[in-house]
């Protein structure tokens, strides 16, 4: 058994705003952990054997690691821009591989069928060509120039528009989506999917957003994103095989799946295989 290279990564384990001295019991990659607010106001995370785990608070969440993180949590510079509304969407548990949760987030081809009349609608099902690369300097997967016709792309969108996206995978179980911002065309809305791996086939998903939208009530923003994610949930729980296959042979990707192909290649290159299936069966 090779060492789990994902052990040194940062993972979301709680909403920072809901952290109290009593704390919550949860798990990280099979190990029970406890998360609480310490007397100094900082987050404290304890592992299964009582050892202190690394902890930091960023992007509305508490982050921790079972190992020894070699670098700080990835940066989202836009999150610190003044004027953005930070939306804590809250946790949703899904019985699926944490990697499958991220892969689904990267896919746009399913919009007209799963998020019908919100993020897509027939007959506008075509995924136009877009660019994907694994950026060596940042060590991240990026998909750019992604365009899709959407009937109601965001809560702040009136009617159908062609929305442009950029997708970014800065960590194996996290993705950041940059999306056309209807009220501020020069800026991008930031929508993230932070996934806490509980087991190889079970995860807690913490969506979070940093939007330019001064009009929409906060509860509407939360409900919009929860609606989208729970539409995905039933699909994710029925994907077979449950673990994400990293070797060719199990599935036949199409051109629209370029981001998924790059994501799987990047996972395999780093040995990020917690929640993955290595040899096609």
* CA-closest candidate to residue 144, choices 111, 192, 108, 182: 108
CB of 207 to other proteins, least distance (A): 11
β-pairing verdict for 161-171 and 55-58: unpaired
DSSP, collapsed to helix, strand or coil, labels residue 17 as helix
The interface region with other proteins, picked from 38-46, 166-174, 230-238, 246-254 by CB under 8 A, is: 230-238
Cα distances from 269 to residues 41, 103, 186, 254, in angstroms, run 39, 16, 35, 21
User: Which CB, 162 or 234, lies closer to other proteins?
Assistant: 234
Segment 75 to 104, residues that bind other proteins, using CB under 8 A: 88-93, 95
DSSP, collapsed to helix, strand or coil, labels residue 58 as strand
15 touching other proteins, by CB under 8 A: yes
Using CA atoms, how far apart are residues 43 and 11, in angstroms rounded to an integer? 14
Site string for other proteins, 133-172 (x = CB under 8 A): ----------------------------------------
217 touching other proteins, by CB under 8 A: yes
User: Which CB, 144 or 231, lies closer to other proteins?
Assistant: 231
CA quadruple 193, 274, 202, 246: dihedral positive or negative? positive
User: Which CB, 39 or 215, lies closer to other proteins?
Assistant: 215
**Reduced to 3 DSSP states, what percent helix, strand and coil does the chain have, rounded to the nearest 5?**
20, 35, 45
Q: Binding residue for other proteins (CB under 8 A) from 168, 179, 233, 264?
A: 233
User: Which CB, 180 or 225, lies closer to other proteins?
Assistant: 225
Using CA atoms, how far apart are residues 173 and 141, in angstroms rounded to an integer? 12
The interface region with other proteins, picked from 142-150, 173-181, 221-229, 240-248 by CB under 8 A, is: 221-229
Binding residues vs other proteins (CB under 8 A) = 15, 18, 88-93, 95, 113, 116, 204, 217-220, 222-223, 226-228, 230-231, 233-234, 237
């Amino acid at each position: 058994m090779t060492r789990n290279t994902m052990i040194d990564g940062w993972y979301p384990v709680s909403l920072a705003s809901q952290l109290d001295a009593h704390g919550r019991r949860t798990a990280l990659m099979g190990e029970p952990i406890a998360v609480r607010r310490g007397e100094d106001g900082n987050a404290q995370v304890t592992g299964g054997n009582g050892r202190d785990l690394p902890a930091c608070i960023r992007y509305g969440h508490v982050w921790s690691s079972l190992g020894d993180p070699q670098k700080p949590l990835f940066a989202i510079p836009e999150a610190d821009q003044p004027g953005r509304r930070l939306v804590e969407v809250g946790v949703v548990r899904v019985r699926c591989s944490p990697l499958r949760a991220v892969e689904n987030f990267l896919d746009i081809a399913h919009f007209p069928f799963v998020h019908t009349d919100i993020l897509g609608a027939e007959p506008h099902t075509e995924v136009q060509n877009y660019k994907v690369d694994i950026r060596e300097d940042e060590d991240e997967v990026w998909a750019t120039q992604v365009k899709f016709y959407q009937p109601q792309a965001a809560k702040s969108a009136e009617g159908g528009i062609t929305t442009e996206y950029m997708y970014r995978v800065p960590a194996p179980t996290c993705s950041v989506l940059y999306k056309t911002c209807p009220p501020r065309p020069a800026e991008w809305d930031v929508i993230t999917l932070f996934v806490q791996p509980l087991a190889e086939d079970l995860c807690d998903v913490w969506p979070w957003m940093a939007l330019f939208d001064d009009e929409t009530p906060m509860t509407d923003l939360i409900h919009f994103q929860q609606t989208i994610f729970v539409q995905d949930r039933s699909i994710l729980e029925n994907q077979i095989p449950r673990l994400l296959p990293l070797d060719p042979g199990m599935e036949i990707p199409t051109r629209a799946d370029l981001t998924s192909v790059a994501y799987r290649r990047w996972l395999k290159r780093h040995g990020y295989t917690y929640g993955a299936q290595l040899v096609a069966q």
